[in-house]
Amino acid sequence: MYSSELHAFGEKLLKEHQIEIKGKDILFAERFRTHLYAIENLFNEIYGDHPHRNKGFDQLLLSLITHYKERNATFIQKDADKQKVGNWFLSHEITGMSLYVDRFAENLQGLTHKLSYFKELGVNFLHLMPVFESPAGESDGGYAVSNFRKVDARFGTNEDLEKLIHQMQHQKMYLMLDIVLNHTSYHHEWAKKAKEGDSFYQDFFYFFDDRDLPNQYDQTMPEIFPESSPGSFSYVRELDKWVMTVFHHYQWDLNYRNPYVFNAMLDNVLHYANLGVDILRIDAPAFIWKELGTTCQNLPKAHTLLRLIKKCVQVASPGMALLGEAIVAPAEIIKYFGTDDFTAQECDIAYSATQMALQWDALATGDTRVMLAAQHDILQKPYGCTWINYTRCHDDIGLGYDDYMIERAGFNPYQHRTYLKNYYAGWQEGSVAAGALFSVNPKTNDARISGSLASLCGLQKAVEWNQPHEIENALRKIILMQAQTMCIGGIPMLFYGDELAYTNDYSYLQDSGKSYDNRWMHRPIMNWEKNEKRKNSSSFEGRIFLATQKLIEIRKSLPILSDHKNITWMTPHNIHVAGFVRSIENKKLFCLFNYKHAGSYITWHAFKEHGMLPIRLLDHWTGESYQVGNDHEYFILPAYSFAILEVLE
Ligand code: GLC
């Protein structure tokens, strides 16, 4: 709401900081004025009653101005270019890869030399797993940050990162980095000061004098790593106090009830924007607000904080989009795009964790009905926002979709999940998967799944057993999984190694800093000699690399695959086949995926729904074209295959 007092204060600040409101800074000044009231309202929602509210708010506005002033001209120009395009991240021309710098290319310099590899594959967007300082052995893969501004020596220097970014800009590549918002390492300067008894910094975390409140919280807070880090609180000997540690004991949760914590982390967010980040991955946003008596996940104030960050970014560095890494229940994920007045104004992007898990569900059961039942929730994504679509990432696969989805498909949720876990752990009779259960919770029977794409698809075992038929099936499954990810709408994000069919790497068991966490089995170390095999199309590596490359090319050639919320699921005609239509203006593209170990038949009638009668279809994958037949005739999809069918006439 307009307030003349706030307006005057804002104008005074702009003037004091020599913002040329009629000159070169005109766009910034406009954004600052436009969003000022919303920023104040959001800030007040959280900190309105805090004794340091005024100081905190002034500090925040100052931070917006100083970060804008520090932003280099290239990025300011990019902001303007992106704003002209609108929601640039909806584009079918973006394909990403997520990787560990050291495991992929030793260090940042090595990665800079590998940029041509991404070009060869067609990848133009990189997610670098956390590169900032994090104590070896207690790093959670870099998600326990001890210095948000300093690149960890393992990867190189800040200068190396800048050089890499410069090269990426030059090659028109996009960059994603993480902001680990929920916690810091207990070696972070703030935690160290807190441990030394500094009360200002103790208020950066959640400290408790005894177990009273922690015990109460424990009643309702689910455990994240029940095996390796049970509970959500750790004892701090130096202070004889307990501190909240939702993830590992070495990751201390930040206290966002304190405006100085918010401001300090916002400074880091804007600092990353000024490094040249195109998409900021907000790690674990579901956890940033805690309240006694709740699960301490997905709380309304967590959304308020994210909205506030979004507004601040829109003012200081509007070209940087926000990805909320909320791996939660399907209906909760959607809320990270914003609700009510903030629809499409919170996170621009979220992981389609439900769709990812449901593809694994379909692969294990050969049945796509649960996937279909979930679309009601998944399709709630507002226009203007998008998904990261993926088959694997560095984390485990959680089966966190709703029971009703499983029931609607005619299964018993408990038995169904048990089957899936047994299947991917390789215990189920007939299973070719070689994964492992992650974070088994004996109290709730919950467990998630680890394992590389190729190993979960059966390649590892098929090779061990020397079974050519199973090898063939495994390769087809890998391509099928990637194909659906590429066609469904959103940014496909490959996980490094999957484009070369890397199977599980068990070397983590020899490293005491990793052996407690079996997610490391699917975080391979690249072997560049072996990667040369991609040039031989009859090797596994070559076959999968070429297929991935081809899928990316097809995607880039089809603007209809941009995410304009232009997807309609087909009526199920065959439970083994997932199918949807992408459409734009008068164009249509049918995408069909057969999750069965044998051929599946689809009546041609299926193509005549949605008020049109196509005559001829072209499959972009095989290059074959088809005359649409009579309703009693069939389009046939071979085992674990797919079709990307454009309506030609
Ligand atoms: C996110 C990361 C995961 C990490 C956790 C704690 O979920 O993806 O790897 O363990 O946050 O930071």
Handedness of CA 511, 515, 517, 520 (dihedral sign): positive
Query: Per the domain annotation, does 183 fall within a domain?
Result: no
Q: With contact defined as beta carbons under 8 Å apart, do 489 and 386 qualify?
A: yes
Nearest CA to ligand 1 atom 11: 284
* Confidence band of 7 (pLDDT split at 50, 70, 90): very high
CA 84/CA 87 separation, integer angstroms: 9
In this structure, the answer to whether residues 643 and 549 fall within a common structural domain is: no
> What total of structural domains would you count in the chain?
2
In this structure, the answer to whether residues 310 and 435 fall within a common structural domain is: yes
- CA 339-29-21 angle, 5° bins: 165
Residue 411, domain CATH: 3.20.20.80
In this structure, the answer to whether residues 386 and 517 fall within a common structural domain is: yes
Write out the H or E segment, with its range, that includes residue 583. Answer: strand 577-584
Distance from the alpha carbon of residue 180 to the mean position of ligand 1, in angstroms: 8
Domain finish residue from 558, 591, 610: 558
Distance from the alpha carbon of residue 573 to the mean position of ligand 1, in angstroms: 39
Q: Can you give the residue range of the structural domain that contains 443?
A: 94-124+163-172+298-558
Q: What is the pLDDT of residues 519-540, one digit of tens each?
A: 999 999 999 999 999 999 999 9
In this structure, the answer to whether residues 531 and 577 fall within a common structural domain is: no
Distance from the alpha carbon of residue 408 to the mean position of ligand 1, in angstroms: 31
Composition of the chain by helix, strand, coil, percent to 5: 45, 20, 35
Question: Mean pLDDT in the chain?
Answer: 97
Torsion angle of C-alpha atoms 420, 474, 496, 437, degrees rounded to 10: 20
Task: State residue 442's pLDDT score.
Answer: 86
Q: Is 247 in the pocket of ligand 1 (CB under 6 A)?
A: yes
Q: What is the pLDDT of residues 335-380, one digit of tens each?
A: 999 999 999 999 999 999 999 999 999 999 999 999 999 999 999 9
Q: Is 178 in the pocket of ligand 1 (CB under 6 A)?
A: no
Residue 602, domain CATH: 2.60.40.1180
Q: Please give the number of the atom of ligand 1 that sits closest to the Cα of 143.
A: 12
3-class state of residue 92 by DSSP: coil
Q: Is pLDDT above 70 for 487?
A: yes
Query: Per the domain annotation, does 519 fall within a domain?
Result: yes
Residue of 184, 247, 327, 514 best suited for mutating to test ligand 1, as the one with most atoms within 8 Å of CB: 247
In this structure, the answer to whether residues 538 and 599 fall within a common structural domain is: no
Nearest CA to ligand 1 atom 8: 395
Distance from the alpha carbon of residue 534 to the mean position of ligand 1, in angstroms: 31
Q: Please give the number of the atom of ligand 1 that sits closest to the Cα of 144.
A: 12
In this structure, the answer to whether residues 573 and 604 fall within a common structural domain is: yes
In this structure, the answer to whether residues 577 and 536 fall within a common structural domain is: no
Segment 330-337 shows an average pLDDT of 97
Number of H helices, E strands in the chain: 23, 25
Q: With contact defined as beta carbons under 8 Å apart, do 338 and 307 qualify?
A: yes
CA 612/CA 589 separation, integer angstroms: 12
Distance from the alpha carbon of residue 283 to the mean position of ligand 1, in angstroms: 7
Handedness of CA 126, 517, 357, 456 (dihedral sign): positive
Query: Per the domain annotation, does 27 fall within a domain?
Result: no
Determine how many CB atoms are found less than 10 A away from the CB of residue 116.
9
**Residues 164-183, buried b or exposed e (16+ Cβ, 10 A)?**
bbeebbeeebbbbbbbbbbb
Q: Go through the chain and tell me how many residues it has.
A: 649
Tokens of 154: 């393992």
Q: Is 228 in the pocket of ligand 1 (CB under 6 A)?
A: no
Query: Per the domain annotation, does 415 fall within a domain?
Result: yes
Residue 90 C-alpha from the chain's centroid: 15
Share of the chain above pLDDT 70, in %: 100
In this structure, the answer to whether residues 549 and 613 fall within a common structural domain is: no
Q: With contact defined as beta carbons under 8 Å apart, do 308 and 43 qualify?
A: yes
**Residues 491-527, buried b or exposed e (16+ Cβ, 10 A)?**
bbbbbbbbbbbbbbbeebeeeeebeebbbbbbbbebe
Q: What is the pLDDT of residues 397-444, one digit of tens each?
A: 999 999 999 999 999 999 999 999 999 999 999 999 999 999 998 888
Task: State residue 609's pLDDT score.
Answer: 87
In this structure, the answer to whether residues 535 and 579 fall within a common structural domain is: no
Residue of 100, 223, 283 best suited for mutating to test ligand 1, as the one with most atoms within 8 Å of CB: 283
CA 283/CA 74 separation, integer angstroms: 27
Query: Per the domain annotation, does 59 fall within a domain?
Result: no
Beta strands in 4-146 (DSSP E): 96-99, 125-128, 132-133
Q: Is 175 in the pocket of ligand 1 (CB under 6 A)?
A: no
Query: Per the domain annotation, does 16 fall within a domain?
Result: no
Nearest CA to ligand 1 atom 7: 284
Of 325, 346, 396, 446, which residue is the catalytic one? 325
Distance from the alpha carbon of residue 395 to the mean position of ligand 1, in angstroms: 7
* Confidence band of 61 (pLDDT split at 50, 70, 90): very high
Task: State residue 254's pLDDT score.
Answer: 98
* Confidence band of 1 (pLDDT split at 50, 70, 90): low
* Confidence band of 73 (pLDDT split at 50, 70, 90): very high
Domain finish residue from 525, 540, 558: 558
Tokens of 452: 């590389």
Residue 141 carries which side chain, given as an amino acid letter? G
Query: Per the domain annotation, does 278 fall within a domain?
Result: no
Query: Per the domain annotation, does 344 fall within a domain?
Result: yes
* Predicted TM-score (pTM) of this structure: 0.97
In this structure, the answer to whether residues 443 and 532 fall within a common structural domain is: yes
Asked if 585 is an active-site residue, the reply is: no
Q: What is the pLDDT of residues 77-88, one digit of tens each?
A: 999 999 999 999
Domain finish residue from 501, 531, 558: 558
- CA 275-276-279 angle, 5° bins: 120
Q: What is the DSSP letter of 613?
A: -
Of 25, 79, 283, 395, which residue is the catalytic one? 283
Distance from the alpha carbon of residue 421 to the mean position of ligand 1, in angstroms: 21
Q: Please give the number of the atom of ligand 1 that sits closest to the Cα of 327.
A: 7
Asked if 283 is an active-site residue, the reply is: yes
Q: Is pLDDT above 80 for 465?
A: yes
Q: What is the pLDDT of residues 103-136, one digit of tens each?
A: 999 999 999 999 999 999 999 999 999 999 999 9
In this structure, the answer to whether residues 412 and 513 fall within a common structural domain is: yes
Cα end-to-end span (Å), the chain: 53
Q: Is pLDDT above 80 for 610?
A: no
CA 581/CA 106 separation, integer angstroms: 42
In this structure, the answer to whether residues 333 and 462 fall within a common structural domain is: yes
96-99 and 491-495: which strand pairing? parallel
